[in-house]
Amino acid sequence: MTHFPAPDPATPQPASLFAAATASLALTPEDFGPIARCDIPMCVADAGGDMPIVFANPAFLALSGYDERDVIGRNCRFLQGPSTEPEAAERFRRGFADGRPFQVALLNHRKDGAPFRNEVFIAPIRDAGGAIVRFIGMQVSSRTLETEAASLAALRHHFRNQLQTMTSFVSLLGQRMEPGDGRDAFEDVRVRFESMAAAQSEAPADASETVRADAILARVVEGALRIYDPNRRHPVAIDAAPLPASGRRATLLAQALTEIMIDLARNAMSTGPGAHVSVTVAALPDGGCRLAAACAAPGREPVSGSTELGLAIAQSLARSAGGEFRRRIGERYEIEILLPAETDLR
């Protein structure tokens, strides 16, 4: 099922922009010409009674499969059917009651019973005294949404291919360099690219949809160890409990863990073989999550500008999600990120 995030009142949303575009619309039938000529399905309903439709443009009739005589005088809910989400009716009820522009994504049905997914934008029309007298609605059908989704999928595929090319290029350059800071920097870049690829390979089209963040993070750890410790000189324990998260948060966690693994490799793991390494991914009782890494070896301050910047990025990512970032060095290296529960997990 496709989900659409709830509008942020602080940000101009399609429904608000749609309302602004129709704010000067006159209220008499003869003034519906611009709507009639519009290729986007639109209709106008009276604000009183059962909110009957008073006008529907040809695009609306073509989308629904109904004739004008079947539509005029009826409430728009006649498009709903057995497959329509029950919560959609409640969202419509709240939207009309608020008297402000709103949008609802739902499954409607054509006259022949065939379901179609669309997103409906609703805006009130007010008279000179400010009273709501009509509502105007615009529907974007699944055909448009699917076209956008296909374009996004193609873009994501192109991005992944480019990412793989860059990863291979950086890896090749790093292999040709002598050991030292220059080679270390190329390895760090390679780890970042591979971690990004791991996150993107699992990322959903809708960043608010749920994914298994623990699986993505385990791939990040394994990828980093494959580069930094190919001979497994350090025993490693990965404790990744099931962690459902939005694609957005999973990507954030993958970025943060990447910087943690780079710091871990350049810091505690570089002191010598044998130090035990542990990485923990856990869901917290309050709905938040914990990401931690530790090494049974002395820690120290960042040893290069790359790791120092990386830790600053990890800290910034944690704080951007309302979380905490902790790093402790001494006889034992420990680093931890705590994030609160997500409010838009779907």
pLDDT for residue 24: 44
pLDDT for residue 103: 87
- Flag the least confident range among 66-80, 88-102, 200-214, 236-250: 200-214
Q: Residue 237 has which token pair?
A: 């324990």
Rounded to whole angstroms, the Cα distance separating 79 from 75 reads 9
Which residues is 141 bridged to in the sheet?
A: 118
* 310, 262 contact by CB (below 8 A): yes
Spans of all domains in the chain = 14-145, 207-339
Q: Is the dihedral of CA 176, 178, 180, 182 positive or negative?
A: negative
In this prediction, residue 170 has a pLDDT band, given cuts at 50, 70 and 90, of low
pLDDT for residue 204: 65
Residue 160 has pLDDT above 50, yes or no: yes
CATH homologous superfamily for the domain 207-339: Histidine kinase-like ATPase, C-terminal domain (3.30.565.10)
Residue 3 has pLDDT above 50, yes or no: no
Mean pLDDT to the nearest integer, 194-218: 78
pLDDT digits 0-9 by tens, 224-244: 888 888 888 888 889 988 999
In terms of Cα–Cα distance, which of 165, 332, 340, 193 is closest to 262? 193
Q: Please give the residue that has the higher pLDDT: either 301 or 77.
A: 77
Residue 201 has pLDDT above 80, yes or no: no
Rounded to whole angstroms, the Cα distance separating 265 from 258 reads 11
pLDDT digits 0-9 by tens, 87-145: 888 888 888 988 888 888 888 888 998 888 888 899 888 888 888 999 999 887 665 44
DSSP string for residues in 125-173: EE-TTS-EEEEEEEEEEHHHHHHHHHHHHHHHHHHHHHHHHHHHHHHHH
Q: Please give the residue that has the higher pLDDT: either 154 or 76.
A: 76
E strand or H helix that includes residue 14: helix 14-22
Q: Which amino acid is at 20?
A: A
pLDDT for residue 13: 46
pLDDT for residue 31: 65
pTM above 0.85, yes or no: no
Mean pLDDT to the nearest integer, 43-57: 93
Q: Supply the DSSP symbol for 44.
A: E
In terms of Cα–Cα distance, which of 273, 332, 264 is closest to 298? 332
CATH number for the 14-145 domain, one of 3.80.10.10, 3.30.590.10, 3.30.1330.10, 3.30.450.20?
3.30.450.20
